[in-house]
Structure 1
C-alpha cells in the first residue's frame, strides 16, 4: 500500500514507537495544528470548525501548517480532525460554539435507539480518509502521518453530557445506574472506532493514537470495568484486521490522561505499542512501572510553554534526563494538547531543546 506514496525520509518516530533506541527523541505535540498558529486562525476566519474537518483540502492545509513552520524540527504530523466525528457518524448532531455542544444528548438508554443501527465509516467518515490520503501525498515523505480517534469512554461521556463537564455527573450516573446498557453502548462505540482506525491505515496513516481524555475521571475500579475492556477491544481488533487485510503493521498509542494508576496494567494487557503520559507522573517512575514492555510518550506540562525560554529549557532537560533512564523507546511530547495562547516561537524553542538535550542524553 505504501508504494503509492512518496518514500518516507524520517522514520524516527516509527522506530521509537516500536521500542528501538534512537539517536534522539522524536518529537511532536498534541493539537499541533491548532489555534496558537496565526495561519490556522486565518483559515478559521472564513470556515466553521467542522467544515474544515469535512473538507479534505482545508484539513490538509491545516495539518501541513506546523510541518511547514517547523521544518526539520517536527518528527510527525497528525491529521486535522476531531474525536467527535464518531458520534456524528453514529447519527448525533455536534456543534462547536466554541466548545463542543450536542443539542440532543443521550438522556436514558432508550435514546440509544436514535443512533444509526449500522455505521458505514467509508461513507460517513470518507472525508477523513480523503484528507489522510491527500496529506500523506503532500507530506512528500518528510514525516509520518498520525491518525486517531477518541476512546469509547470519552466519546460516551460527551454523548451523554452534551458537551464538556467538570464532574461528568450525567455520564457517571449512566454507568452506575445502567451498567449493562453502558457496557453495550461503549462496545458499540468501540466497534466504530475499530472500523475508523483500520480505514485510516488504508488511507495512509502510519501511526494511530487513541485519546481517552477523561480516563482520569474514573476510579481505578470503574476504569477497569468500563474503559479498559473497550481500549483492549480496539487494539486487539485493529491489529487483527490489519494482519487479515494485508495492511502495514501500524504502531498504536494509547493516551489515557489521568490514569497513571493503571500504567503497569495497561503496559501488560492493553495491547498498545506506546503509552502516552500526562505531566503528573515522573518519567523515571513511569519507566520503572512499565519496564521495557512499551514505548512512552510525553510529558511536559503544556503550561510551561508560557513560562519563558529558561523555564522551557529547564523542563525539557529534566524530561530528557528522566526518559533516557532505563530501556525502551521514547517520543517527546507535551502531557496534553498545546493551548491557544502559546507563542509559536516558544514552541519552536521547545522543539529545539528536545533536539539538543535528547541527543546529548542519548549520547552521554
Structure 2
C-alpha cells in the first residue's frame, strides 16, 4: 500500500516466492543490475558525480529502469538506483565517490570522545528533508514501471554503515572500526543504535513512496567473528526487522516483505533465518543444498551464483546455473534467483542476458516437470 496511486502489479512472482506461495518458476533479479556495466548507464551518468546522479530523481529513475527494459521479460524486479551511504550523508558526514576507487569520507569518525562523533550521533535527522530525492525517485519509478515488476528499496545495515563511517571508505583489515568495537564497545553500540533508528525512518518513507520489497545490505558482516556478529550486527538487523512493520502499521500500511543479505556471515545463517526477515540472501560461499536443509522452509532463500562466473563464458554460465538451481531444489519453491553479490565491472551485458535466459530455461524445466516440489502444489 502507498499514499500514491499506482498501476496494478502484473508480475508478482518475487512477492509470492518471498511469502512462500506457489510460483510457476523461480523469480530473479540481481544486485547492482542498474550500473556501470551497462553502456546506457554510462551515457545517462555522463561526467556527473555519482551522488549527483543519485540526487536527481529523473536520472535515478531512468537508470533503475534500464535493465528492466534491456532484459524485458527476463527480470522479475527493479531495484531503485541509490547508494547505502546516503544515510551517513543524512547524518551530516561528507561522502565522495572517487573514480576507480570507491566511496571516500574526508573526515571519518576516529575518536568517540570527539565533538564530531557527538554531532553525528545526536543530530536530528529529517529523512524527508535530507533524503527526499530517494523517495521522489521511488514514486517516479513506480509510475514508469506501470506494474511490470515490483520495485525494491534498500538500506545499508548499521554495522556496514558504521564501518564506512569510521574507516573512511573500504578496507582490507578494518583496523579503525575493529579498534572501536574492542576499545569502545558502548560508544560503538550507541552509534549502531542511532544508525538503526535512521534506517527504519528511511525505510518507512521508501515504502510510503512506493517500494514493495526491502533489502538490508550487511556487506561487511563477514568481517566479524560469530561472537562479535552477535553483538555488533545481529541486534541491529533485528531492530530493523522488528520496528519497520510496527511503524508501517501505525501509518495504516501493510507490512512489507524484507530480505537480509549478510555477506560472508555463513556461520550466522541459521540465526538469520530467525531474525524476522522473510528472505535471506546467500553469497556464493554457501552450498545451496546445505542452506536448504538449514533453512527448512522457514524463509525464502535468495542467491547465489558467484558473479565472477559471468566472466567465464556462456558454457560456464550454463553449467553454474544448472548446478545452482539443482542445489536449490530443496527450497521447495522458496527461492529467488540472484548472484552471490553484485554485478562487477566489465561484465558483458549479453553474458548477463545469457545468465537470465538460462535461469528461465532451467527454472521452467524444473518447476513444470515437477522435478521440484513447489509449495501449494
* Match of residue 22 from structure 1: 23
Cα separation, 2, equivalents of 1:126 and 1:326: 38
Q: Is 1:323 aligned with 2:324?
A: no
Cα separation, 2, equivalents of 1:328 and 1:315: 19
Cα separation, 1, equivalents of 2:271 and 2:98: 38
Q: Is 1:215 aligned with 2:221?
A: yes
Indicate if the aligned counterparts of 2:307 and 2:341 stay in contact, CA closer than 8 A: yes
* Match of residue 108 from structure 1: 111
Q: Is 1:175 aligned with 2:176?
A: no
Deviation at 1:324, TM superposition (A): 1.6
Give the match's secondary structure for 1:60. helix
Indicate if the aligned counterparts of 1:291 and 1:327 stay in contact, CA closer than 8 A: no
Cα separation, 2, equivalents of 1:362 and 1:325: 12
Q: Which segment drifts farther, 190-199 or 1-10?
A: 1-10
Indicate if the aligned counterparts of 1:300 and 1:316 stay in contact, CA closer than 8 A: yes
Normalization by structure 1: what TM-score?
A: 0.98
* Match of residue 55 from structure 2: 54
Unaligned runs of 5+ in 1: none
* 1:259-298 pair list within 5 angstroms: 259-268=265-274, 270-298=275-303
Cα separation, 2, equivalents of 1:362 and 1:179: 49
Q: Is 1:341 aligned with 2:346?
A: yes
Deviation at 1:326, TM superposition (A): 4.0
* Match of residue 231 from structure 1: 237
* 1:1-364 pair list within 5 angstroms: 1-2=1-2, 4-98=5-99, 99-109=102-112, 110=114, 111-115=116-120, 117-268=123-274, 270-327=275-332, 329-363=334-368, 364=371
Cα separation, 2, equivalents of 1:121 and 1:276: 27
Normalization by structure 2: what TM-score?
A: 0.95
Cα separation, 1, equivalents of 2:138 and 2:295: 32
Cα separation, 1, equivalents of 2:80 and 2:164: 21
Deviation at 1:362, TM superposition (A): 1.6
Indicate if the aligned counterparts of 2:55 and 2:134 stay in contact, CA closer than 8 A: yes
Cα separation, 1, equivalents of 2:247 and 2:19: 19
Indicate if the aligned counterparts of 1:291 and 1:328 stay in contact, CA closer than 8 A: no
Give the match's secondary structure for 2:152. strand
Give the match's secondary structure for 1:281. coil
Q: Which segment drifts farther, 319-328 or 92-101?
A: 319-328
Give the match's secondary structure for 2:35. coil
Indicate if the aligned counterparts of 2:300 and 2:331 stay in contact, CA closer than 8 A: no
Give the match's secondary structure for 2:254. coil
Deviation at 1:248, TM superposition (A): 2.7
Deviation at 1:88, TM superposition (A): 0.1
Runs of 4+ in 1 over 6 A off after TM superposition: none
Cα separation, 1, equivalents of 2:131 and 2:45: 21
Indicate if the aligned counterparts of 1:294 and 1:328 stay in contact, CA closer than 8 A: no
Cα separation, 2, equivalents of 1:243 and 1:275: 23
Between the two proteins, the alignment pairs up a number of residues equal to: 363
